[in-house]
Amino acid sequence: MNNLLSVENLSVAYGAGAPAVSRVSFAVGEGSVVALLGANGAGKSSIMKAVSGLMPSTGAVLFNDEDIGSLPARARVAKGIVYVPEGREIVGELTVRENLVLGGYQKAASERKRRIEMVLDLFPEIAEKADRQAWRLSGGEQQMLAIGRGLAADPKLLLLDEPSLGLAPLLVRRVFDRLATIRAESELAIVLVEQNLAVTMRLCDELHFLRGGRIVGHRSAEELKDETARQEAIDAYLGAA
């Protein structure tokens, strides 16, 4: 399998103090799902922002073997790297459909229309409310809209930052089931940031555990199917810092 994304020795610093991310390296194969797990402050969002071009970083970010580390965020979107931020950041005053149009703004009108119809087919919950202002949606529907807006951009790599955050377990399951459908039906690769191991395992192929801005462990989803191995990973990597 070819690597779609390679992150090599990535570091991110916000100021003079300890870096938020220190020399992190990982790769994402075409069509695969890689999870970054860790507690609050472990550096997960900073990695996503650096890969999407929203945050300066050192080290290398390669996409299809091309060094994209100095490209601005919009050029990375054009290449197919699309970030769905934590907290969703949809535009509440705009309608559901208008939010989706924003997601596909770099696409030609006909392609954008096709992508939006695909998103509305995938998420019937928000299709019913396509002409309603986005702030009126429930938390789960807003998360579907945020993911849908990302999909409207026709990504090759979707960077999903804590899609389970603030959602009731039933809705988390629904969102992840829908992500599994997208996975099964397309060649889309995903980097998934999560704190929740159980839901993450339903979707991903590989997991990297982060603490204090560093990758401290790595497992395949296959390895973690074993309950003892899973508990050991939780104790080793996701327990108290």
Q: Residue 164 has which token pair?
A: 């389970």
Q: Which amino acid is at 25?
A: S
Q: Give me the least distance between CB of 90 and ligand ATP, in Å please.
A: 18
Question: Is residue 52 close enough to count as binding ligand ATP by CB under 6 A?
Answer: no
Per CB under 6 A, the list member of 41, 80, 166, 217 interacting with ligand ATP is 41
Angle at alpha carbon of residue 137, lines to 132 and 138, rounded to 5°: 165
Question: Is residue 224 close enough to count as binding ligand ATP by CB under 6 A?
Answer: no
Closer of 21 and 122 to ligand ATP (Cβ): 21
Q: Residue 97 has which token pair?
A: 């459909």
Query: What residues between 3 and 32 interact with ligand ATP by CB under 6 A?
Result: 14, 20
Count CA atoms closer than 13 A to 132's CA, side-chain side. 13
Query: What residues between 65 and 124 interact with ligand ATP by CB under 6 A?
Result: 86
Per CB under 6 A, the list member of 28, 32, 43, 192 interacting with ligand ATP is 43
Q: Which amino acid is at 118?
A: M
Strands lying side by side in the sheet with 189-194: 81-84, 157-161, 189-194, 33-37, 206-211, 214-220
Closer of 76 and 211 to ligand ATP (Cβ): 211
Q: Give me the least distance between CB of 42 and ligand ATP, in Å please.
A: 4
Q: Which amino acid is at 177?
A: D
* Residue ranges binding ligand ATP (CB under 6 A): 14, 20, 38, 40-46, 86
